[in-house]
């Protein structure tokens, strides 16, 4: 049955499963759950991996299953594109006239250090591709390493250590109360000079004032931001128009097969649900993701 996209919390009384995603209607959700919520709901399936878009009360009722990993491969391609763009100086060597024709020295990803903060599905996919380019990979995660890191990935406990050793830094961690503005001035003070920061997680993990100060001082060499806070950035933001910043409109997760992968995950969860088995990728209220 179709729900109400303007008020997605308004569902037919007999609904067992709610499938929803980060549609605009959730931005206007009431601060408290409606009196009829959650009705007979037994399971909520989100089409997103993050939960910061939804009201808190959506996460406090029936189990909420997330779409973890659905867009990981697409995001990983975006990340590698961002790394190669900086290393190969693509903006500088792009010709726009005959007069600009000249030879340039360009860099290489091989041997460069990639730091990954938040080693989930996206981190794994990025690491797979970065290894092909012979990059050195450091990774840090909030939860314990249940298994050893993949081949070619070195686990690092301290985020500051990763900042100090990385040429490129990927932020791929969830936005929670612990990670909001995690990348502030104190944290960025540990960055290796010229660091390239890539944020594909949530804009809220980055303190944009601190980032801008780092760019102006030269400690941060480049920033690739697919996510910002707020989103979009307001007109006149000093991040617009900077040659050392690439802003994209939250598109890293968009891919040709993203919807099909989500449907396959949802069907797998339906099968588990009907058999009475635990669902895949259920939101953990304690961890916040």
- Per residue in 28-81, pLDDT (tens digit) is 999 999 999 999 999 999 999 999 999 999 999 999 999 999 999 999 999 999
Could you list the residue range(s) of the whole structural domain that residue 193 is in?
A: 72-247
Shared-domain flag, residues 212 and 125: yes
Give the CATH number for residue 281.
3.40.50.720
How many domains does the chain fold into? Answer: 2
Neighbours of 140 (CB within 10 A): 20
The residue annotated as part of the active site, out of 42, 85, 181, 250, is 250
Shared-domain flag, residues 113 and 48: no
Shared-domain flag, residues 175 and 36: no
Shared-domain flag, residues 103 and 50: no
* 13 assigned to active site: no
Shared-domain flag, residues 24 and 51: yes
Owner of token pair 């069907």:
267
Parallel, antiparallel, or unpaired for β 220-225 and 136-140? unpaired
The residue annotated as part of the active site, out of 89, 231, 260, 264, is 231
| pLDDT score of 1 more than 80 | no
Q: Residue 278's pLDDT is what? A: 96
Q: What's the predicted TM-score (pTM) here?
A: 0.92
The residue annotated as part of the active site, out of 112, 202, 208, 222, is 202
Q: What is the CA radius of gyration of the chain?
A: 21
C-alpha span between 79 and 169 (Å, rounded): 10
Shared-domain flag, residues 212 and 201: yes
Shared-domain flag, residues 11 and 108: no
Q: Sorting pLDDT into bands at 50, 70 and 90, what band is 144?
A: confident
- Per residue in 84-143, pLDDT (tens digit) is 999 999 998 999 999 989 988 899 999 999 999 999 999 999 999 999 999 999 999 988
Q: Tokens for 43, please give them.
A: 């399971």
Shared-domain flag, residues 272 and 188: no
Shared-domain flag, residues 124 and 222: yes
- Report the helix count and the strand count for the chain, using DSSP H and E: 7, 10
Q: Sorting pLDDT into bands at 50, 70 and 90, what band is 2?
A: confident
* 124 assigned to active site: no
Q: Tokens for 70, please give them.
A: 């659905």
Strand partners, 142: none
- Per residue in 206-241, pLDDT (tens digit) is 999 999 999 999 999 999 999 999 999 999 999 999
Shared-domain flag, residues 82 and 211: yes
Shared-domain flag, residues 129 and 166: yes
* 231 assigned to active site: yes
Shared-domain flag, residues 99 and 169: yes
Residue 8 burial by Cβ neighbours in a 10 Å radius (0-12, 13-18, 19+): buried
Distance set, CA 213 to CA 87, 163, 169, 191, 283 (Å): 22, 16, 17, 13, 35
């Amino acid at each position: 049955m179709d729900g109400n996209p303007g008020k997605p919390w308004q569902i037919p009384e007999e609904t067992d499963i709610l499938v929803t995603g980060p549609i605009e209607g959730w931005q206007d959700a009431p601060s408290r759950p409606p009196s009829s919520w959650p009705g007979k709901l037994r399971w909520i399936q989100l089409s997103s991996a993050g939960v910061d878009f939804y009201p808190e009360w959506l996460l406090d009722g029936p189990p909420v299953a997330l779409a973890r990993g659905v867009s990981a491969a697409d995001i990983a391609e975006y990340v590698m594109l961002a790394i190669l763009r900086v290393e190969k100086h693509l903006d500088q060597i792009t010709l726009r006239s005959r007069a600009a024709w000249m030879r340039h020295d360009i860099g290489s990803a091989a041997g460069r250090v990639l730091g990954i903060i938040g080693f989930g599905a996206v981190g794994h996919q990025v690491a797979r591709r970065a290894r092909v380019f012979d990059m050195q990979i450091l990774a840090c995660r909030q939860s314990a390493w249940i298994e050893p890191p993949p081949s070619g990935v070195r686990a690092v406990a301290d985020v500051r250590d990763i900042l100090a050793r990385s040429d490129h830094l990927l932020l791929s961690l969830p936005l929670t109360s612990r990670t909001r503005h995690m990348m502030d001035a104190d944290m960025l003070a540990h960055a290796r000079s010229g660091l390239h920061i890539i944020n594909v997680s949530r804009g809220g993990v980055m303190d944009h004032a601190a980032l801008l100060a780092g760019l102006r001082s030269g400690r941060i060499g480049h920033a690739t931001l697919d996510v910002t806070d707020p989103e979009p950035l307001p007109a006149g933001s000093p991040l617009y128009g900077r040659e050392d910043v690439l802003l994209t409109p939250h598109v890293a997760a968009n891919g040709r097969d993203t919807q099909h992968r989500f449907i396959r995950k949802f069907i797998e969860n339906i099968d588990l649900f009907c058999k009475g088995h635990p669902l895949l990728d259920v939101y953990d209220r304690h961890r916040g993701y």
